[in-house]
Amino acid sequence: MTAEYLSSAEMLQIKIAQGAKPGEGGQLPGKKVSEYIAELRYSTPGVELISPPPHHDIYSIEDIAQLIHDLKNANPAAAVSVKLVSEVGVGTIAAGVAKAKSDHVTISGHDGGTGASPWSSIMHAGTPWELGLAETQQTLTLNRLRGRIAVQVDGQMKTGRDVVIGALLGADEFGFATAPLVVEGCIMMRKCHLNTCPVGVATQDPVLRRKFEGRPEHVVNYLFFVAEEARELMAMLGVRRFEELIGRADLLDTRQSVEHWKAKGLDFSRIFHLPDVPPVHLGGPARHHCETQDHGLEKALDKRLIELARPALERGAKVTIETPIRNINRTVGTMLSGEIARRYGHEGLPGESIHVRLAGSAGQSFGAFLARGVWLDLIGDTNDYCGKGLSGGRISVQPSAKFRGEPTENIITGNVALYGAIEGEAFFRGVAGERFGVRNSGARAVVEGLGDHGCEYMTGGTIVVLGATGRNFAAGMSGGIAYVLDAQGTFARYCNTSMVSLEPMLAETEQEAKLAREFWHKGESDEAAAKHLIGMHARLTGSVQAKRILESWNEYRPKFVKVFPNEYRRALGELAARQKRLAA
């Protein structure tokens, strides 16, 4: 997610899970990763893309609150939504999401989902949307949270009757997916993952895509019929405005269904229960969305940074800003980056147009989605999510001159640094926490040690580690390069080699060295690329470790281990062969 992408959105949705893929992630086979898809996903054509089953930056409601805050900083005008699966306890999670300041929540039923879903998920995961929606409405109402947040429901919504029942159970909005796809021509072959859709809906094959005959007017016509049926049912109920339907489960006629011989013995009272609260006009809680969340953006440090950076934003002049920072200053640099992205797109500003020098302990998400042309230069330390979604900017962090410890043995940045980074540079004179560089797609970084799960699911970029790593390094890593200083000779024990190969930095064949120069280091060999990054690290952070390595390069060079993804090697070879054929 780049700063430009976020700044251009009207709504941003955090998909915690989907009804037919709860917590399982997803995989896009390498043969479907065309040049166009690879460009959009900031990856390499032909290399399989693995969506991590867990959200590595979300382990609690507080983590969701931080991500929501990040997104609101990137684009204050966009609504932020969280997608949850209908299951037992979803009401409690929805209450947490509302308290985390989400503007919108989606309850996804088990019936919908992509045709690429595993059969185990389609048949055995999630519950009907009616159950999750009823629980969410009751829980939010009882806790006086319902008015703060819009509730959407989806999962095989097809008719106006579905819309009305959804409203009576508590939904403000409704998601339609399968039915409009069928209207557009989908024949539900359930082979979306094979790239062989016979009607051209779910395929990148240009021959098959020509078979697609859908038109926007088809969907418009279908939804008009849905709305017409919903209006007829509202008239039968004597309701003029849609808001009057929401949360009115008492208007559901349940007798015919409950008295049916197949349903005898089932107790539906909890689904149709109305919370025992006073009506709104007597001080009771709202039953539908009617309030706005307070995201506290007016307190952001970026408000001041934007004002001080006006010469750079408006005239392209270089600006240097000096300011203290505290850990209550969260998501610093993100609102400024959103302003740059809205004016200049992903290209941002040239060079180091805005140099922000800070001193202190930065809060969470320092430099998240940082745009090109911004350099955050911090003397101190950072919390979690530093450099998340880095979009071309530069981050450098070094300890205070008063710090008497050894940087290579002390944490300077928290967990999940550079998560989903797209482009840019980051230099940390110290040790990072766990999950460093997860799903990095193009950023270059130097760090002096890190915790478990480093470079997991990485698809691009270059990471140099001048110290020890934790366990499970490079799990699911399908692209990019990592160079690890293995001074003790123990790195192989901690690296997950299921998708990567470990080799000496200088053990390249002539062909591989040529590939390196052509593709992943922009004209530099492995050794030159690593040495250049270490040199920048020494210059920008004053790292003693980096200076020591450069001064004794011939001694340290053999101790570096190159982590090279197997699929990346294959794809680069195919790209080189294709370019050679085109040149001939």
Residue 584 and residue 574: Cα distance in Å, rounded?
15
**pLDDT for residue 270:** 87
User: 402 Cβ partners below 8 Å, 6+ apart?
Assistant: none
For residues 86 and 14, the answer to whether their CB atoms sit within 8 Å is: no
User: 539 Cβ partners below 8 Å, 6+ apart?
Assistant: none
**Token match 């450069």: residue?**
550
Type of residue found at 100: A
Q: Is 40 helix (H, G, I), strand (E, B) or coil?
A: helix
CATH 3.20.20.70 range(s) for the chain read 11-176+240-256
Of the candidates 105, 87, 88, which has an alpha carbon nearest to the alpha carbon of residue 145?
A: 105
> Would you give the distance in Å from CA 131 to the centre of its chain?
28
Of the candidates 101, 70, 91, 84, which has an alpha carbon nearest to the alpha carbon of residue 139?
A: 91
- Encoding tokens for residue 489? 């000779």
**pLDDT for residue 25:** 62
User: 569 Cβ partners below 8 Å, 6+ apart?
Assistant: 501, 512
The pLDDT tens digits along the chain (584 residues) read 899 999 999 999 998 876 555 556 667 778 778 888 888 888 888 888 877 777 888 889 999 999 999 999 999 999 999 999 999 999 999 999 999 999 999 999 888 777 667 777 777 778 899 999 999 999 999 999 999 999 999 988 999 999 999 999 999 999 999 899 999 999 988 888 788 899 999 888 889 999 999 999 999 999 999 999 999 999 999 999 999 999 999 898 877 666 778 877 777 888 889 988 888 888 889 999 999 999 999 999 999 999 999 999 999 899 999 999 999 999 999 999 999 999 999 999 998 899 999 999 999 999 999 999 999 999 999 999 999 999 999 999 999 988 888 999 999 999 999 999 999 999 999 999 999 999 999 999 999 999 999 999 999 999 999 999 999 999 989 999 999 999 999 999 999 999 999 998 864 445 555 555 454 444 567 888 899 999 999 999 999 999 999 999 989 999 999 999 998 988 888 887 888 888 87
**pLDDT for residue 541:** 96
Residue 186 and residue 178: Cα distance in Å, rounded?
8
**pLDDT for residue 56:** 81
CATH fold of the domain at 298-403: Pectate Lyase C-like (2.160.20)
CATH 2.160.20.60 range(s) for the chain read 298-403, 405-584
Helix (H) or strand (E) holding 360, with range, is: strand 354-361
Going by CATH, does the domain composed of 405-584 fall within 4.10.520.10?
A: no
**pLDDT for residue 515:** 54
Other beta carbons within 10 Å of 58: 17
Type of residue found at 455: C
**pLDDT for residue 186:** 92
For residues 75 and 9, the answer to whether their CB atoms sit within 8 Å is: yes
Instruction: Out of 3.40.50.720, 3.20.20.70, 1.10.3720.10, 3.60.15.10, select the CATH number for domain 11-176+240-256.
Output: 3.20.20.70
Q: Half-sphere exposure (CA, 13 Å, Cβ side) for 191?
A: 10
Residue 298 and residue 238: Cα distance in Å, rounded?
44
